[in-house]
């Protein structure tokens, strides 16, 4: 990989692959994934290879293969594969000689350019392709391929169309529908998901040119099982460039814009749409998409002046993917843990969204955060069902969430247990319950940062109250200790299953209940009409008594007297301590499982990821720096960072403790999870939460931005090798620009809003009128 390729205007905007290796296809397929939140296309090469994974997903189109499997995002028929034959030989970079290979993802414009010379049987061909998924026209993706035989005439043949011979690792999610080629030009494939019965209309068309002049070639037509293609063939003279433009669209009956329309209407709509796109052509369509990307970058770009150029690329890479993966157009859809870049985690949403991804949107593009918060409102039915099925009340959010009505979709069986040889049971869907307070926390954060009363009145307060109702019913009375416990859970650290009183879960449930009590009074006095509606619906009056009675009796593990360590749960501190050096220095995550089964890991003082640290991050003011440091010193050496969520939280905490070197080191490690030199980390897809975490490292960590009790705080702790960082921040609907220099903080208001922005810097309060400079 080459991360320094961009120069001048494109400096730190280009992620580049500079050599081809068919053993490492997964890396660029995932990190160069294209998308627009409506759909995501993994960047498999045009020509096919044995180890490739070619994926195309459309947000929200979940399907359940059969009763024994959970619902997942299906891999839809493919547009990207082209069979290219040059003088009768299939273009295949495993053969022949390759010269000047490069594949560049331009983060600024969302375009991939792939270029190389291929020499085979004495003929040298120049190949260059471009590919984008439009950020403007959500149904559209386009590919352009140019081939020039350089030193001899050659027959070039390209087979291209729609390939429905795809699956999700073998699971076939589609019934084959009609296929058709209109006027030898517009190719159509219909398919229907087997269970959710979503109809897909996929269309594609081609335009050809020779040396820049459009040409017509009468194609051969080919229709096979789940496959429809056209074949173009042309004798191309030495030095002539043969170009094929392929413009493709996806529409589904799940799309909002077609709500209520029949499949027949969608087919007509899709055909008209494609005809119009075809008239506009690749270049115009690309310009429109670029304009949309420019708007996004204007709203979110962070400028870093660092001694290490890579830092700038890393945040842009993260933000590029955050836009590509997020279905901002439709609040019935969430963000997958691998975005739309791979089959990993089946397209499901986790707490990753609320605690790692949403903050970026909340502080930068609040309308998108609103859509993500609304998604949880849409899923309330499933959350209530889950509570009820488990004998609780209120809303118990699914650990893994898919289509809004699906409820809990966590698979039950996972990786092999090295002791028994059987599949390990995944308990998260049953007992990883902290997701419910994570949802409440992100919602409250959104509310405090944006002051979006309308959202809260229509959706948010209902969630806050219903999550509190859940926690009140979830608490278990311990007669001996005369306190409420939360037993048999998994906390954020998934290497500890079936534990009692995970500190994170207990504290956050306590916080959730107190928040509901606070808003009960506020809404009753300030919004009586709304109060009456919610009171009727959720019986707030009688619940309030329960909340008040129980919340003061919840067991909150305190720091130990001797060393200020808070027990992560009731038994963690009494488990075996082993030498973890080998696993701390591992090349690939999860190496512990080569030696131990999950049951054995459960009995060792070893953590997968940040647990206590997430608590310190969210409830920052509850714990002193000394307590944070003591717990860091105890738990971090036992934490393997086997989840990609772990490093960014640790980075923010290290910043909070003013350990700048450690914080920067963790930031670098987090940045390199997908973008680094390791060619195997992203095979199943990019790490969505970690990418959100990179933004948090910079804004919440190094710049010290935090919403505390509804107030804005900015306590910068710039890494030593950074001179400056400038970033946008939206606070109470006002766009601010924050600039952090070594010793100077500048805050500028970018609008004429009269809102007085109040914030603190290292304990001193400031009021922003237009611009303020503060020495720190
Ligand atoms: C982590 C979870 C995370 C999930 C999806 C797991 O490996 O332990 O915290 O939510 O991956 O990213």
pLDDT, tens digit, 9 for 90 and up, residues 65-95? 999 999 999 999 999 999 999 999 999 999 9
DSSP secondary structure string, 310-360? HHHHHHHHHHHHHHHH--TT-TT----TTTTS-SGGGG-B-HIIIIIIHHH
Q: Is 738 in the pocket of ligand 1 (CB under 6 A)?
A: no
Both tokens of 16, joined, read 């580049």
Taking the centre of ligand 1 as the mean of its atom positions, its distance from the CA of residue 112, in whole angstroms, is 30
Q: Is the pLDDT of residue 259 over 80?
A: no
Atom of ligand 1 at shortest range from CA of 688: 12
Across 642-664, average pLDDT: 97
212: left (phi over 0), alpha (psi -120 to 50) or beta: left
Q: Is 350 in the pocket of ligand 1 (CB under 6 A)?
A: yes
Q: Is 351 in the pocket of ligand 1 (CB under 6 A)?
A: yes
Q: Is 689 in the pocket of ligand 1 (CB under 6 A)?
A: yes
Taking the centre of ligand 1 as the mean of its atom positions, its distance from the CA of residue 505, in whole angstroms, is 16
Taking the centre of ligand 1 as the mean of its atom positions, its distance from the CA of residue 583, in whole angstroms, is 19
Closest to 398 measured CA to CA, from 440, 356, 348: 348
Which of 339, 648, 689, 690 to probe ligand 1 with, by most ligand atoms within 8 A of CB? 689
Q: Is 337 in the pocket of ligand 1 (CB under 6 A)?
A: yes
Indicate if the alpha-carbon torsion angle 441, 630, 691, 307 is positive or negative.
Answer: positive
Residue with CA closest to ligand 1 atom 12: 337
Give the model's pLDDT for residue 719: 98
What residue spans of 380-527 are helical by DSSP H?
380-389, 428-431, 435-450, 453-455, 461-474, 503-526
Give the model's pLDDT for residue 264: 85
Residue 444 near residue 361 (C-beta atoms within 8 A): no
Give the model's pLDDT for residue 256: 64
pLDDT band at 751; cut points 50, 70, 90: confident
Chain centre to alpha carbon of residue 227: 31
Taking the centre of ligand 1 as the mean of its atom positions, its distance from the CA of residue 689, in whole angstroms, is 9
Classify residue 254 as exposed, middle or buried by CB count within 10 Å of its CB (0-12, 13-18, 19+): buried
pLDDT, tens digit, 9 for 90 and up, residues 544-587? 999 999 999 999 999 999 999 999 999 999 999 999 999 999 98
Closest to 706 measured CA to CA, from 724, 731, 689: 731
- Quote the DSSP letter at residue 41: E
Q: Is 356 in the pocket of ligand 1 (CB under 6 A)?
A: no
> From the CB of residue 577, how many other CB atoms can be counted at a distance below 10 Å?
11
Q: Is the pLDDT of residue 381 over 90?
A: yes
Look up 494 and say whether it is catalytic.
yes
Residue 78 near residue 204 (C-beta atoms within 8 A): no
User: What contacts 165, CB < 8 A, 6 or more positions away?
Assistant: 225, 226, 227
Q: Please tell me which residue in 188, 494, 497, 620 is annotated as part of the active site.
A: 494
Residue 712 near residue 653 (C-beta atoms within 8 A): no
What does the alpha-carbon distance between residue 596 and residue 599 come to, in Å, rounded to a whole number? 8
Atom of ligand 1 at shortest range from CA of 337: 12
User: What contacts 233, CB < 8 A, 6 or more positions away?
Assistant: 155, 156, 157, 217, 220
pLDDT, tens digit, 9 for 90 and up, residues 678-689? 999 999 999 999
pLDDT band at 257; cut points 50, 70, 90: low
Q: Is 494 in the pocket of ligand 1 (CB under 6 A)?
A: yes
Taking the centre of ligand 1 as the mean of its atom positions, its distance from the CA of residue 411, in whole angstroms, is 13
Residue 62 near residue 77 (C-beta atoms within 8 A): no
Question: What are the CA-CA distances from residue 454 to residues 360, 374, 378, 527, 530 (Å)?
Answer: 21, 12, 16, 12, 11
Q: Is the pLDDT of residue 41 over 70?
A: yes
Q: Is the pLDDT of residue 16 over 80?
A: yes
Q: Is 432 in the pocket of ligand 1 (CB under 6 A)?
A: no
Residues in a beta bridge with 16: 2, 104
Q: Is 688 in the pocket of ligand 1 (CB under 6 A)?
A: no
Q: Is the pLDDT of residue 393 over 70?
A: yes
Taking the centre of ligand 1 as the mean of its atom positions, its distance from the CA of residue 492, in whole angstroms, is 8
Give the model's pLDDT for residue 193: 98
Indicate if the alpha-carbon torsion angle 656, 443, 72, 176 is positive or negative.
Answer: negative
Which of 337, 341, 433, 691 to probe ligand 1 with, by most ligand atoms within 8 A of CB? 337
Residue with CA closest to ligand 1 atom 7: 643
Across 380-386, average pLDDT: 98
Closest to 314 measured CA to CA, from 667, 720, 610: 667
270: left (phi over 0), alpha (psi -120 to 50) or beta: alpha
Q: Is the pLDDT of residue 265 over 90?
A: no
Give the model's pLDDT for residue 258: 61
What does the alpha-carbon distance between residue 372 and residue 317 come to, in Å, rounded to a whole number? 21
3-state secondary structure of 548: helix
Which of 356, 442, 643 to probe ligand 1 with, by most ligand atoms within 8 A of CB? 643
Residue 409 near residue 70 (C-beta atoms within 8 A): yes
Which of 339, 349, 352 to probe ligand 1 with, by most ligand atoms within 8 A of CB? 352
Give the chain's mean pLDDT: 97
Residue with CA closest to ligand 1 atom 5: 337
Residue with CA closest to ligand 1 atom 6: 643
Q: Is 355 in the pocket of ligand 1 (CB under 6 A)?
A: no
The overall pTM is greater than 0.95? yes
Both tokens of 239, joined, read 């030095």
Taking the centre of ligand 1 as the mean of its atom positions, its distance from the CA of residue 636, in whole angstroms, is 18
Give the model's pLDDT for residue 261: 75
> From the CB of residue 224, how many other CB atoms can be counted at a distance below 10 Å?
12
Taking the centre of ligand 1 as the mean of its atom positions, its distance from the CA of residue 680, in whole angstroms, is 18
Residue with CA closest to ligand 1 atom 1: 643
User: What contacts 608, CB < 8 A, 6 or more positions away?
Assistant: 493, 494, 495, 639, 640, 642, 643, 646
Q: Is the pLDDT of residue 263 over 90?
A: no
Atom of ligand 1 at shortest range from CA of 345: 5
Both tokens of 475, joined, read 């608490």
Across 19-33, average pLDDT: 98
Q: Is 645 in the pocket of ligand 1 (CB under 6 A)?
A: yes
Taking the centre of ligand 1 as the mean of its atom positions, its distance from the CA of residue 643, in whole angstroms, is 6
Both tokens of 730, joined, read 């939206």
In what helix (H) or strand (E) does residue 582 lie, and over which residues does it extend?
A: helix 581-584
Both tokens of 563, joined, read 């060393």
Residue 426 near residue 412 (C-beta atoms within 8 A): yes
Taking the centre of ligand 1 as the mean of its atom positions, its distance from the CA of residue 353, in whole angstroms, is 11
Residue 426 near residue 340 (C-beta atoms within 8 A): no
User: What contacts 476, CB < 8 A, 6 or more positions away?
Assistant: 484, 485, 486, 487
Percent of the chain with pLDDT over 70: 99
Q: Which residue has the tokens 């037993």?
A: 487
Atom of ligand 1 at shortest range from CA of 687: 12
Q: Is 352 in the pocket of ligand 1 (CB under 6 A)?
A: yes
Atom of ligand 1 at shortest range from CA of 689: 12
Q: Is 30 in the pocket of ligand 1 (CB under 6 A)?
A: no
Which of 338, 346, 350 to probe ligand 1 with, by most ligand atoms within 8 A of CB? 350
Residue with CA closest to ligand 1 atom 2: 643
pLDDT, tens digit, 9 for 90 and up, residues 434-477? 999 999 999 999 999 999 999 999 999 999 999 999 999 999 99
Residues in a beta bridge with 746: 739, 773
Across 226-247, average pLDDT: 98
User: What contacts 672, CB < 8 A, 6 or more positions away?
Assistant: 678
Residue with CA closest to ligand 1 atom 9: 492
3-state secondary structure of 615: helix
Atom of ligand 1 at shortest range from CA of 350: 10
460: left (phi over 0), alpha (psi -120 to 50) or beta: alpha
What does the alpha-carbon distance between residue 411 and residue 408 come to, in Å, rounded to a whole number? 9
Both tokens of 516, joined, read 């509901």
pLDDT, tens digit, 9 for 90 and up, residues 509-553? 999 999 999 999 999 999 999 999 999 999 999 999 999 999 999
Taking the centre of ligand 1 as the mean of its atom positions, its distance from the CA of residue 429, in whole angstroms, is 12
Atom of ligand 1 at shortest range from CA of 645: 9
pLDDT, tens digit, 9 for 90 and up, residues 314-349? 999 999 999 999 999 999 999 999 999 999 999 999
Q: Is 461 in the pocket of ligand 1 (CB under 6 A)?
A: no
- Quote the DSSP letter at residue 557: P
Taking the centre of ligand 1 as the mean of its atom positions, its distance from the CA of residue 587, in whole angstroms, is 19
Residue with CA closest to ligand 1 atom 11: 643
Chain centre to alpha carbon of residue 60: 14
* Phi, psi of 130, deg, nearest 5: -130, 150
Q: Is 345 in the pocket of ligand 1 (CB under 6 A)?
A: yes
3-state DSSP helix/strand/coil % of the chain, to nearest 5: 35, 25, 40
Give the model's pLDDT for residue 465: 98
Which of 432, 645, 690 to probe ligand 1 with, by most ligand atoms within 8 A of CB? 645
Measured distance between the N- and C-terminal CA atoms of the chain, rounded to whole angstroms: 39
Give the model's pLDDT for residue 280: 98
Residue 35 near residue 133 (C-beta atoms within 8 A): yes
């Amino acid at each position: 990989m080459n991360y320094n390729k961009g120069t001048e205007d494109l400096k730190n905007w280009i992620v580049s692959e500079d050599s081809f290796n068919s053993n490492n296809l997964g890396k660029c397929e995932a990190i160069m994934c294209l998308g627009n939140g409506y759909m995501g296309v993994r960047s498999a090469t045009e020509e096919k290879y044995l180890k490739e994974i070619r994926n195309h997903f459309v947000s929200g189109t979940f399907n359940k293969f059969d009763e024994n499997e959970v619902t997942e995002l299906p891999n839809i028929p493919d547009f990207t594969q082209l069979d290219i034959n040059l003088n009768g030989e299939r273009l295949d970079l495993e053969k022949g000689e390759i010269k000047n290979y490069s594949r560049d993802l331009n983060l600024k414009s969302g375009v991939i350019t792939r270029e190389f010379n291929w020499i085979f049987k004495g003929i040298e061909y120049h190949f260059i392709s471009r590919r984008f998924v439009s950020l403007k026209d959500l149904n559209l993706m386009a590919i352009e391929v140019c081939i020039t035989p350089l030193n001899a005439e050659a027959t070039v043949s390209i087979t291209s169309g729609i390939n429905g011979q795809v699956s999700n690792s073998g699971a076939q999610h589609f019934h084959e529908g009609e296929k058709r080629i209109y006027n030898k030009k517009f190719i159509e494939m219909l398919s229907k998901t087997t269970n959710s019965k979503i109809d897909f209309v996929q269309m594609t068309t081609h335009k050809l040119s020779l040396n820049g002049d459009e040409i017509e070639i009468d194609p051969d037509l080919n229709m096979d099982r789940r496959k429809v293609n056209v074949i173009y063939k042309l004798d191309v003279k030495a030095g002539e460039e043969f170009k094929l433009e392929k413009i493709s669209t996806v529409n589904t009956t799940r799309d909002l814009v077609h709500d209520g329309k029949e499949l027949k209407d969608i087919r007509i709509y899709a055909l008209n749409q494609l005809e119009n796109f075809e008239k506009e052509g690749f270049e115009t369509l690309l310009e429109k998409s670029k304009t949309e990307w420019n708007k996004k970058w204007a709203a979110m770009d962070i400028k870093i002046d660092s001694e290490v150029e890579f830092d700038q690329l890393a945040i842009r890479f993260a933000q590029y993917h955050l836009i590509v993966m997020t279905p901002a157009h439709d609040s019935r859809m969430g963000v997958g843990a691998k975005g739309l870049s791979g089959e990993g985690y089946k397209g499901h949403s986790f707490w990753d969204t609320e605690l790692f991804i949403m903050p970026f949107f909340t502080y930068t593009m609040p309308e998108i955060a609103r859509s993500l918060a609304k998604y949880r409102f849409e899923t309330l039915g499933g959350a209530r069902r889950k509570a009820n099925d488990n004998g609780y009340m209120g809303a118990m959010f699914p650990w893994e969430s898919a289509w809004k009505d699906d409820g809990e979709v966590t698979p039950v069986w996972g990786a092999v247990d090295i002791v028994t040889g059987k599949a390990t049971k995944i308990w998260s869907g049953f007992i990883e319950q902290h997701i419910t307070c994570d949802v409440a926390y992100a919602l409250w954060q959104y509310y405090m940062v944006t002051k979006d009363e309308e959202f809260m009145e229509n959706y948010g307060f209902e969630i806050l109250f219903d999550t509190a109702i859940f926690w009140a019913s979830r608490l278990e009375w311990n007669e001996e200790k005369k306190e409420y416990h939360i037993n048999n859970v998994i906390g954020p650290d998934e290497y500890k299953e079936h534990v009692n009183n995970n500190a994170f879960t207990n504290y956050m449930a306590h916080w959730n209940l107190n928040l509901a009590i606070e808003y009960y009074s506020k809404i009753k006095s300030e919004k009586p009409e709304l109060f009456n509606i919610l009171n009727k619906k959720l019986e707030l009056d009688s619940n309030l008594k329960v909340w008040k009675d129980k919340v003061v009796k919840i067991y909150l593990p305190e720091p130990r007297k001797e060393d200020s360590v808070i027990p992560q749960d009731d038994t963690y501190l009494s488990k075996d301590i082993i030498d973890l050096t080998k696993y701390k220095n591992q090349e690939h995550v999860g190496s512990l499982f080569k030696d131990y089964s999950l049951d054995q890991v459960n009995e060792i003082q070893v953590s997968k990821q940040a647990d206590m640290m997430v608590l310190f991050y969210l409830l920052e003011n509850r714990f002193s720096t000394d307590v944070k440091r003591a717990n860091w010193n105890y738990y971090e050496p036992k934490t393997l960072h086997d989840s990609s969520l772990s490093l960014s939280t640790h980075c923010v905490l290290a910043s909070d403790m003013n350990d700048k070197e450690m914080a920067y080191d963790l930031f670098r490690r987090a940045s390199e999870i997908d973008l680094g030199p390791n060619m195997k980390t992203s095979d199943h897809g990019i790490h969505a939460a970690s990418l959100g975490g990179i933004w948090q490292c910079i804004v919440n960590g190094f710049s010290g931005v935090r919403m505390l009790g509804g107030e804005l705080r900015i306590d910068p702790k710039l890494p030593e090798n950074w001179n400056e960082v400038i970033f946008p921040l939206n606070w109470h609907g006002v766009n601010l620009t924050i600039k952090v220099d070594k010793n100077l903080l500048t805050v500028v208001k970018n609008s004429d809003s009269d809102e007085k922005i109040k914030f603190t810097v290292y304990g001193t309060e400031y009021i922003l009128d237009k611009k303020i400079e503060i020495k720190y």
